Structure 1
Amino acid sequence: MSVARTGEFGLIARVTARLQVGPTALLGPGDDAALVAAPDGRVVASTDVLVEGRHFRRDWSTAQDIGHRAAAANLADIAAMGAGPTALLVALCVPAGLDVRWAEDLADGLTAEAAKVGASVVGGDMSASPTLTIAVTALGDLHGIAPVLRSGARPGDVVALSGKVGYAAAGYTVLSRGFRTPKLLVESYRRPDVPYAAGPAAARLGATAMIDVSDGLLADLGHVATASRVAVDVLRDAFEIPRQMRDAAHALGVDPYQWVLGGGDDHALAATFPDTVELPPDWKVIGRVVEGSGVTVDGHPYKGPAGWDHFR
């Protein structure tokens, strides 16, 4: 059954029936607006847009996969501020011929990813569009702590990473060449494994700056360097290349470090800490903050692509 047959309100009813309202949602879908608890008194907010053909392909990923990715991209931004996600608002623009079941499966993916952090989809909007587009806004709560900004890194800090980098970019390359394996890489692209809890934990540990690695490690660390008016030096040997990634890189004629250093969509968290902080096992030191500007690798400018730019 297409969305044209169900109509706007029929589609809304089908989708909202699948949503599970979490404890932070005092009023979920069904009214003019949702009501979300904000115990801290400050609300962290972030928005991301996914456009078919630009950010996802339906022949590469299921609707549930895309729902997980859409939610993860926004929830990771909240975690990167040191906050706990509370709610998602979703705007969905779809072609009239779209199968209703696809929209329902998308809602299931969004709901499942949000549930990992105790958040829920509390509302949104729908419209007809020739291009399938998903816009997600995430809200979060700081739980009484200060937000971790990009602008706090200082010379002498260590740069640390929580989560994986390069896996999703490798999966994207594999899919774009017409392959569906290795599963480790392809599934990392379809459903990123985001270390959500590491964000608030880093804030409590005294992180001086933090960012979600969505566009590429070097590019995103470049945002930290610019905002903090410092330089960041990344250590190439800090990264272990898994066998599946090495094998795929060899088969495709790609340097695997291009994926690790310049690939996005894994949504790892990169943060800077005073070197006196004892980091837990889920944070790995990958470099240093130094005087100067820009990002280097082993003390030298990096000649490969540093990350994704929508307009290049």
Structure 2
Amino acid sequence: MVGANDSGGDTSRSSVSAGSGPTVADLGEQALIGRLTAMSTRAAADLPTDSDRLLIGPGDDAAVIAMSSDLIVSTDSLVQDRHFRLEWSTPENIGRRAAIQSAADIAAMGGRVSALVVSIACPPSTGVDWVLAVNHGLNRAAVAVGARVVGGDVVSADQIVLTVTVFGSTDGRAAVPVSGARVGDRLAVSGPLGSSAAGLALLMAGRADSYPDLVAAHRVPVVDLAVGVIAAEHGAHAMTDVSDGLGAELETMARASGVSLEVVAASIPMAAGLAEAGAELGVDPAGWAIGGGEDHQLLAAFGGAPPAGWTVIGSVLARDDDRPVRIDGSAPAVPGWQSF
């Protein structure tokens, strides 16, 4: 099975149409940065006044953010034709997806997102409007989680690469590590799984119109990242986001925590339409839910009942080196995403 992060292994590179407007080479680096900065400043106007901790913003050598507690930092890159295809996603989709997947790492630590910086690498022939649309998506997603884009970089490259570095805060709480699961804990996920992998499979099969919600979820993850803070306040012992597939994330949590994890497959919540799409493509939808990844729901271990909206899928057991993760008594059949 192809992982949800994978565009299918095609190494051909789709060109970005310059359209009738200027390219980034025509406009120039400083003018492009000026437009990107102005867009980010306008987007931040929608944030509540008390959420803006920016002391020095875009346009300087670096941003300065007031922090009242531990700083959480994470970074992610999206590479053209590896993580997204230009013919399958709009530039706004790509920008939103880049921001959400980075913000999910902060949520998985029980943190609140404060700010993002973005590096956009692209060929000189890339249209200015295309880059601005990506930036619009980035800002839209950032504001949706209460954050803002505070700077970044643009650089010439042979293909498009977006790198988002995201900063967050624990607001005085201890961060929730992936290594904290304890024997007797309940395992739970924050929402349905498998939609991104199913959407990719539908796109690859040329059936994008059959299940538009699944395809849309592949283009832009549908997830409420506020649940990370809620889980931390509820006393979660361990947490991670489901980016590489549930099976892979279970393996990471088990090994980091020195425990074994037991999951009941029937308890894993699946996205609406997943079973029907699987039947149409001749695929077991459980493979999408367990191995697909990129839904960016959260997986956590709780000492008691999880918060409302979470689904218990299993439990934490004493360490069994031969079987650190068991789903219905067996090792996961789908390995999850591998970058190399």
TM-score by length of 2: 0.88
- Counterpart CA distance in 1 for 2:224 and 2:259 is 26
Pairwise CA distance, 1:241: 4.2
Partner of residue 266, structure 1: 295
Check if 1:298 corresponds to 2:320: no
Check if 1:281 corresponds to 2:308: yes
CA contact (8 A) 1:24 1:87 kept: no
- Counterpart CA distance in 2 for 1:117 and 1:215 is 22
Q: 1:210 to 1:241 in 2, by over 3 A?
A: closer
CA deviation vs aligned residue, 1:45-71 (integer Å, no higher than 9, x gap) = 000000001001111000110111000
Partner of residue 96, structure 1: 124
Please give the residue correspondences for 1:206-221 in structure 2 after superposition, counting only pairs within 5 Å: 206-221=235-250
Q: Which runs of 5+ in 1 are unaligned?
A: none
Residue 140 of structure 1 aligns to a residue whose secondary structure is strand
Partner of residue 14, structure 1: 35
Please give the residue correspondences for 1:216-255 in structure 2 after superposition, counting only pairs within 5 Å: 216-241=245-270, 244-255=273-284
CA contact (8 A) 2:194 2:270 kept: no
CA contact (8 A) 1:217 1:306 kept: no
- Counterpart CA distance in 1 for 2:191 and 2:139 is 22
Pairwise CA distance, 1:179: 2.2
Partner of residue 61, structure 2: 32
Q: Among residues 128, 136, 139, which one is paired with 2:156 in the alignment? A: 128
CA contact (8 A) 2:234 2:307 kept: no
- Counterpart CA distance in 2 for 1:155 and 1:242 is 29
Partner of residue 139, structure 1: 167
Partner of residue 184, structure 2: 156
- Counterpart CA distance in 1 for 2:258 and 2:141 is 35
Pairwise CA distance, 1:301: 1.8
Pairwise CA distance, 1:203: 0.8
Q: Which runs of 5+ in 2 are unaligned?
A: 1-21
What letter corresponds to residue 275 of structure 2 in structure 1?
R
Partner of residue 196, structure 2: 168
Pairwise CA distance, 1:243: 5.5
CA deviation vs aligned residue, 1:81-113 (integer Å, no higher than 9, x gap) = 011000001011011111111111111100111
CA contact (8 A) 2:231 2:307 kept: no
What letter corresponds to residue 329 of structure 2 in structure 1?
G
CA contact (8 A) 2:196 2:217 kept: yes
Q: Among residues 82, 89, 107, which one is paired with 2:110 in the alignment? A: 82
Check if 1:309 corresponds to 2:338: yes
- Counterpart CA distance in 1 for 2:33 and 2:336 is 37
What letter corresponds to residue 55 of structure 2 in structure 1?
L
Number of equivalenced pairs: 307
Between 1:222-231 and 1:174-183, the stretch displaced more is 174-183
CA contact (8 A) 1:163 1:193 kept: no
Q: 1:240 to 1:273 in 2, by over 3 A?
A: closer
Residue 74 of structure 2 aligns to a residue whose secondary structure is strand
Q: 1:111 to 1:220 in 2, by over 3 A?
A: same
Pairwise CA distance, 1:36: 1.2
Residue 77 of structure 2 aligns to a residue whose secondary structure is strand
Residue 44 of structure 1 aligns to a residue whose secondary structure is strand
CA contact (8 A) 2:185 2:316 kept: yes
Pairwise CA distance, 1:151: 0.8
CA contact (8 A) 1:195 1:269 kept: no
Partner of residue 58, structure 1: 86
TM-score by length of 1: 0.96
Q: 1:242 to 1:164 in 2, by over 3 A?
A: closer
What letter corresponds to residue 8 of structure 1 in structure 2?
E
What letter corresponds to residue 129 of structure 1 in structure 2?
A
What letter corresponds to residue 273 of structure 2 in structure 1?
Q
Between 1:1-10 and 1:44-53, the stretch displaced more is 1-10
CA contact (8 A) 2:193 2:269 kept: no
CA deviation vs aligned residue, 1:201-230 (integer Å, no higher than 9, x gap) = 111111010001001011011110010011
Residue 151 of structure 1 aligns to a residue whose secondary structure is coil
What letter corresponds to residue 24 of structure 2 in structure 1?
V
CA contact (8 A) 2:247 2:290 kept: yes
- Counterpart CA distance in 2 for 1:301 and 1:44 is 33
CA contact (8 A) 2:191 2:311 kept: no
Between 1:290-299 and 1:224-233, the stretch displaced more is 290-299
